[in-house]
A and B are shown apart, each in its own frame.
Chain A
Amino acid sequence: MTAINTGDTAWILMSGALVLFMTPGLALFYGGMVRVKSTLNMMMMSFAAMGVTTILWVLYVYSLAFGPDIGHGLIGNMENVGLNKTITEVMGDPGHQYPKLAYVMFQLTFAIITVALLSGAIADRVKYGSWLIFVGIWITLVYAPIAHWAFASQNGHGGWIVDRLGALDFAGGTVVEINSGAGALALAIVLGRRHGFKTEAMRPHNMPIVLLGAGMLWFGWFGFNAGSALGASQLAATAMINTQIATATAAMSWLVYEKWRQGKATTLGVASGAIAGAVAITPACGFVTPLGALAIGLVGGVISAWAVSGKYIFNYDDSLDVVGVHGIGGLVGMIGVGLLATTTVNKMGGSGLFIHGSPHLLWKELIAAVATAAYSFALTFLIAKLLEKTIGFRVSRSIELEGLDTNMHAESAYDISTFTTR
């Protein structure tokens, strides 16, 4: 058996834990943004993603996503069902090898947060059992293929985006961000608007936990992006500093944009800007210079701040702005790679339009982005329709108005009166 590189292995193990930590962070980020009466349901959707995805990942989803390609780069085969042929295997280049199970764990955490992200589009109105089933179907039919396309690099014979098209996506601008954004749009359309959308105040009920969640996401994102270097390397360091730069810059550019538009710099703005920046740098963090990351953060923050208003114009209730922050932010990042990627940062990367004057890479990035968005939107739409027509996907009007927490979970988020009992 080949000796593993302990430094690289340690970093990948740590990164898996960091990325898993993002999902409870997302639960707080989303949970604080909804109204009190459905807070627990919102957070429970993220925890369902952790549970259901893990079980199916072990059984067959890892194999679909990362098993040997069946041909054409569309999906993996069944070789790794039940995590067969992963337990004693190693991966990586000679001298930088790590246990395959470290990779299985690391990639699992990406699948978890991607499906959890979708829940933000359908806050306050989904049957919990239907959500659990949705998670299982979506991970199988949408996440596994797209992860295979963009992440399963198998010596030129793996996923079509990474191995055949040659588009660059360092940590999941397509697989996680555009995928969740497009799927979120489909879910918001199928499920319809919350009662009172645009007429009632649907204010975040707890901004401090939104900020805490955003902080946890920011922290975990270092595992997400720098962990995607799959080693404790120069490239990991580049990805980490680029993540910090873009996240911080977008937090500030969102603030400046809203100060200009509405006259106030808000807490939700700084939190959202940070997430939008982390999203935008996700595909680019291992391909651009620190100054490139600054530019991507600057643009990503402003474009996402502008894009979140789209739901009021087009009248779809993407409740917590998954489309504007993740879909559009991911697209900004993919375009950023096409414009700013440079081989001085990563020899395995490419050169963007602004670096080499050729739009070649930009076209590849756009093809990967559009293909991901189209597939995710179409399949998510069909899955949601199927659930709606069979077991039902949306709760009754009275449950929605009363709140999901007491009706579906028999709990309420807060009991902070000292003496009175409700």
Chain B
Amino acid sequence: MKLIVAIIKPATLDTIKSALQANGVPGMTVSEAHGFGRQKGHTEVYRGAEYIVDLIPKLRIEILVDDSDLDRVLDLVIATANTGSIGDGKAWVIPVESVVRIRTNERGTDAI
């Protein structure tokens, strides 16, 4: 089993979510995040004082997948998160040792 983690542009969330749902991916977790990367921040102005806002708001999505689904789901996330402009984010994959569905105590792939 694998965990796909992606940092994405907030505006792409709906497209990603719809694509995942349409392709039978059973779940995803979303949290708000801030960070910096190659994309530069923006400048805000308050009474003439300029502040550079360089921690940019992003979303962090996490998706548990069975090994056999990994490539298909990862490709889906990448395709839908890509706008072609700087700041589209990153995705990475982490091996997962075990997964438990809390209600039923199901283990492993059944819990995904």
Contacts and interface: CB of A to CB of B under 8 A. Distances in A.
Interface string B44-58: 111111111100000
Interface string B82-98: 00000000000000000
A201 B48 contact: no
Contacts of B46: 203-204, 266, 268
Contacts of A308: 47-48
What is the interface residue range for chain B against chain A? 10 to 19
Contacts of A331: none
Interface in B39-69: 44-53
A389 interface: no
Interface hub of B46, B47, B48, B51 (most chain A Cβ within 10 A): B47
A264 interface: yes
Nearest to B48: A309
B50 A262 contact: yes
A261 interface: yes
A264 B45 contact: yes
**Interface residue tally of chain A, by bracket?**
10 to 19
Given A262-B45, A266-B45, A203 B50 contact: no
Nearest to B52: A201
B47 to A, nearest CB: 5
Nearest to A325: B47
Nearest to A200: B51
Contacts of B52: 201
A169 interface: no
Q: Which of B46, B49, B50 has the most CB of A within 10 A?
A: B46
A268 B51 contact: no
A79 interface: no
B47 A268 contact: yes
A228 to B, nearest CB: 29
Contacts of A321: 47
B48 A305 contact: yes
B45 A258 contact: yes
A31 interface: no
Contacts of B51: 201, 203
Contacts of B49: 312
A336 interface: no
B53 A258 contact: no
A153 interface: no
A352 interface: no
A302 to B, nearest CB: 12
15 contacts: A201-B51, A201-B52, A203-B44, A203-B51, A258-B48, A262-B45, A262-B50, A264-B45, A268-B46, A269-B47, A272-B47, A305-B48, A308-B47, A308-B48, A321-B47
Interface of A: 201, 203-204, 258, 261-262, 264, 266, 268-269, 272, 305, 308-309, 312, 321
7 tightest Cβ-Cβ pairs between the two chains A and B: A201-B51, A262-B45, A308-B47, A309-B48, A268-B46, A264-B45, A203-B51
